[in-house]
Amino acid sequence: MCGIVGYLGNEPVYEKVIKGLSRLEYRGYDSAGMAYIEDGELVVKKCKGKVVDLENVVGSVKPLSHIGIGHTRWATHGVPNDVNAHPHCSGDGSIALIHNGIIENYASIKQELMNRGHVFLSDTDTEVLVHLIEDVRNAEKVSLFEAVRLALSEVHGAYAIVVLDKSNADQLIVAKKSSPLVIGIGAQDDFYIASDATPIIEYTKNVVYLNDEEVARVDRKTGLTIVNIDNQSQTPYIQALELKLEAIEKGGYDSFMLKEIHEQPRSIEDSIRGRVNLKTGLIKMSGIDEHEERWKTAPRILIVACGTSWHAGLVAEYLFEDFARIPVEVEYASEFRYRNPIIYPTDIVIAISQSGETADTLAAIELAKERGALIFGVCNVVGSSISRATHCGAYTHAGPEIGVASTKAFTAQVVVLYQIALSVAQKRGVISNERTTRLMAELGSLPLKVEQVLKTNAITEAIAEIYQHCSNALYLGRGYSFPVALEGALKLKEISYIHAEGYPAAEMKHGPIALIDENMPVIVIATEGASYEKVVSNIQEVKARKGQIIAIVTEGDKTVKGMADHVIEIPRTDDSLVPIVSVIPLQLFSYHVAIMRGCNVDQPRNLAKSVTVE
Ligand code: M6R
C-alpha cells in the first residue's frame, strides 16, 4: 500500500510528481522517490522519509524533464531506508520501476535471476520485478511493453506498477493486479497515472480505471493502448471523475482528521439524502430493491471488514438483529479468509470498506463469491476494487477521507447500514410502520445533533489536557455502545500511541478491573437507554477502585454526573442511533490527546490509509 504517480506530457514533471505524491502520502510515508529522464539519462532521486525529504534531496535545481514517475512507500519487504526506497532500477540502469503491492514469489524468481548473474541492491520484492522485466526483454528481444506483460505472467501477488525506460522519453508502461491504478487523459496528450484520482483531478476529469491483469502503454505518439495478460487488445473505458478539488484539501483546518471530524453533519446528511422518504415511509436503495427476493429470504447475513469498518459491522449486527430479525455474523476479513468458513449460497455477505481496496476484505469477497453468496458492498471510494468486485451495494457519501484515522467514514457507514437494516426489515414485514417512521425521523435529525456535539469540543479538549500523559485507557460500553467503545480505543491507540482497550462494560469484572487504579482513565458511554442502570453500576465499580471516569451521557443526566469525574453531554436519540452521536467526543478526545503529545494525527507512525497487502 504505497502511492504511485506517473506523468508524461507537455509540462515539466517535477511539480506534478511532488504534488501527486503529497496527495498520496496518506498511503504510506516511510520513503519517497522519483525517476525521470534528462539528457537521455535516467535520473533517480530517493530517500527514507517523507515527500518533503525528497524535495530536499532534489535540491533547488528542479528537473525540467517531461516524463517521470514517483513513489511514496509503506514498507513491506525491507526496512524503510534509502536503498529500499522506490524507484528500483534494472541491472544495466536503463529501466526504473515503481510498485504498490507484493510479489509473493519474489524469492524464487530472485534466486533464479541471481543464478543468471543478476545482482540486487535492496531487500525489496520490487527490485526483483524490474530485473525480471530486463531479463525477459534481453532474452526475448521484445519491446518493453511486451517484456512487462511476459514478466507479469510469471509473478504471483498484487501489483500496480509504472515503468520508465531511458531509451524512450515518450512512453510509460503501466500494469495492475489487485492494487489500484487510474490513468488520467489530459487535453493535449498529457497522461497522468496514480494510485487514486486525487493527484489527477486538478488536471483532467477523464480517467480510465485499469482492470486486473491489464497492461497499458501510454505514448505521446500512439496514445493509450491496453492489452490483457494474454495479449488480447482491450478497449479503454473513459469515465468522468466526480471528485472535487476542495474535497481533498484541508480547507483551513490544521489537519485532515480535524476537518473530517467536523464534516460529519454533512457527510451523514449526504449518506441519507435521496434514500429516506418520510412522506412514503419508504427507504430506496437500489442494491436492495434489485435483489429483493434474496434479502427477503436470506437465512443469514455475514459481515466482513477490518479495523473501523469492522466496528461499523458490529453496530450493524445489532441493527439487523433488532430491526430485521436476521442472524448476523461479523468477521474480521483476515480471519474469515484463512479459515474454511461455512458459506451457503443463500447467504448475503456485506463487505464494508472505506477505501474499497483493503486486501483482506477483497480476498474474503472472492471466497464468498466462489461459494455462491450474494455480495453487497458498503464502500466510500467510487470505482474502488471492492465496489467493482461486489454484486451490488450502497456507497457511503462521506467524501474523500485522507486522515489515516477513520472518522467520518465510520459514521457514514453506520448511517448506510442503518438504512439497509430498516429497508430489509420493511421488506420482510417484521417492523411496524410506526417504528420505521419514528426511526427515519430520528435518523434525519442526526446532522443537527452531531453539529451540537461538535460544540462540546472545548470540554473534550480540557479533559484531554488532564489525561494527555496517561499510558493506558479503558473504554466501556454496552449494547449498541460496545462497538463504540472499541472504536474509541482504536482511535486513541492509533494516533496517540497510548495503550487503550475497549470492553463490554459488564465484562470488566471478568479481568480488566484488575488494571484499575487512580491513574486509569475509564471512558464510559453511559447514555440513557436499555442498559443505563447496568452501566451506572459498572461506573460505581470503577469508582470503588479509584478509577477516573469520563462519561458520555445524555443531556440533562444527573445520576452519572454525580459520580463521574468528567461528563460530556450528547443530545438524546434512539438507542440504535447513539453510536453515531457518541463516537464524536471520542474522536475529538483522541485528536486532542494526540496533538498535545506532538503526534502527527494524519499520518500516525507505522500506519497507512489503505491496507492493500495481507
Ligand atoms: O478502507 P477500509 O475501511 O477497508 O480500512 C479498514 C482499516 O484498515 C481501517 O479502518 C483502519 O483500521 C483505520 N486506520 C482505523 O482508523
Same domain, 346 and 494: no
C-beta neighbour count of 206 within 10 angstroms:
16
74 CA to middle of ligand 1, Å?
Answer: 15
Could you give the percent of the chain with pLDDT greater than 90?
87
- Structural domain that includes position 437: 250-444
Q: Which of 27, 606, 611, 613 most suits a substitution to test ligand 1, by most atoms within 8 Å of the C-beta? A: 611
Cβ(91)–Cβ(119) below 8 Å? yes
Cβ(566)–Cβ(550) below 8 Å? yes
402 CA to middle of ligand 1, Å?
Answer: 11
pLDDT at residue 177 in the model: 93
pLDDT at residue 95 in the model: 98
Radius of gyration of the chain (CA): 26
C-beta neighbour count of 544 within 10 angstroms:
10
Q: Which of 355, 590, 591 most suits a substitution to test ligand 1, by most atoms within 8 Å of the C-beta? A: 355
Same domain, 495 and 554: yes
Q: Going by CA atoms, what residue is nearest to atom 14 of ligand 1?
A: 405
Q: Going by CA atoms, what residue is nearest to atom 7 of ligand 1?
A: 307
Same domain, 426 and 533: no
pLDDT at residue 611 in the model: 78
Same domain, 241 and 264: no
Mean pLDDT calculated for residue range 407-414:
98
pLDDT band at 70 (very low <50, low <70, confident <90, very high): very high
Q: Going by CA atoms, what residue is nearest to atom 4 of ligand 1?
A: 353
Overall residue count recorded for the chain in this entry: 614
Per the annotation, the verdict on 379 as an active-site residue is no
Same domain, 281 and 426: yes
Same domain, 163 and 234: yes
Q: Which of 406, 411, 590 most suits a substitution to test ligand 1, by most atoms within 8 Å of the C-beta? A: 406
Lowest mean pLDDT among 187-201, 418-432, 485-499: 187-201
Lowest mean pLDDT among 45-54, 72-81, 215-224, 293-302: 72-81
**Order of strands, edge to edge, in the sheet holding 239-240?**
41-48, 31-38, 67-73, 3-8, 191-194, 182-185, 206-209, 239-240
Over 90: is that where the pLDDT of 606 sits? no
pLDDT at residue 246 in the model: 79
Q: Going by CA atoms, what residue is nearest to atom 8 of ligand 1?
A: 307
Straight-line distance from the first to the last Cα atom of the chain, in angstroms, rounded to the nearest whole number? 10
344 CA to middle of ligand 1, Å?
Answer: 27
Integer Cα distance of 102 and 573 in angstroms: 46
pLDDT at residue 393 in the model: 96
Per the annotation, the verdict on 449 as an active-site residue is no
Among 16, 45, 176, 609, which one carries the catalytic annotation? Answer: 609
Single out the residue in 399, 414, 444 at which a domain terminates: 444
- Measured from the Cα of 305, ligand 1's closest atom is 4
Mean pLDDT calculated for residue range 292-302:
96
Provide the mean pLDDT of the chain. Answer: 94
Same domain, 26 and 92: yes
Find the CATH number of the domain harbouring 204.
Answer: 3.60.20.10
Same domain, 538 and 464: yes
pLDDT band at 124 (very low <50, low <70, confident <90, very high): very high
Integer Cα distance of 583 and 570 in angstroms: 10
pLDDT at residue 525 in the model: 97
Residue range 525-555, pLDDT digits in tens = 999 998 899 999 999 999 999 999 999 999 9
Over 80: is that where the pLDDT of 614 sits? no
Integer Cα distance of 165 and 89 in angstroms: 10
Residue range 49-58, pLDDT digits in tens = 999 999 999 9
Single out the residue in 247, 274, 305 at which a domain terminates: 247
pLDDT band at 447 (very low <50, low <70, confident <90, very high): very high
610 CA to middle of ligand 1, Å?
Answer: 7
Mean pLDDT calculated for residue range 20-27:
92
pLDDT at residue 532 in the model: 93
392 CA to middle of ligand 1, Å?
Answer: 21
- Measured from the Cα of 607, ligand 1's closest atom is 14
Q: Going by CA atoms, what residue is nearest to atom 9 of ligand 1?
A: 307
Over 80: is that where the pLDDT of 228 sits? yes
pLDDT at residue 608 in the model: 79
Contact partners, residue 412, CB within 8 Å, separation at least 6: 267, 268, 270, 271, 380, 396, 397, 398
Among 2, 89, 306, 599, which one carries the catalytic annotation? Answer: 2
591 CA to middle of ligand 1, Å?
Answer: 17
379 CA to middle of ligand 1, Å?
Answer: 12
pLDDT at residue 250 in the model: 84
Same domain, 306 and 373: yes
pLDDT at residue 421 in the model: 97
Same domain, 135 and 32: yes
pLDDT at residue 249 in the model: 82
Same domain, 55 and 203: yes
Over 90: is that where the pLDDT of 461 sits? yes
What is the secondary structure of 61-96 as a DSSP string? S----SEEEEEEE--SSS-SSTTTSSPEE-TTS-EE
What's the number of domains the chain is made of?
3
Residue range 350-379, pLDDT digits in tens = 999 999 999 999 999 999 999 999 999 999
Same domain, 255 and 325: yes
Mean pLDDT calculated for residue range 315-343:
95
Single out the residue in 196, 220, 247 at which a domain terminates: 247
pLDDT at residue 563 in the model: 94
Residue range 467-516, pLDDT digits in tens = 999 999 999 999 999 999 999 999 999 999 999 999 999 898 898 888 89
Mean pLDDT calculated for residue range 95-113:
95
Q: Ligand 1 pocket: which residues have CB below 6 Å?
A: 306-309, 353-355, 358, 361, 404-406, 490, 494, 610-611
Find the CATH number of the domain harbouring 486.
Answer: 3.40.50.10490
Over 90: is that where the pLDDT of 344 sits? yes
Q: Going by CA atoms, what residue is nearest to atom 12 of ligand 1?
A: 307
- Measured from the Cα of 491, ligand 1's closest atom is 16
Mean pLDDT calculated for residue range 261-275:
95
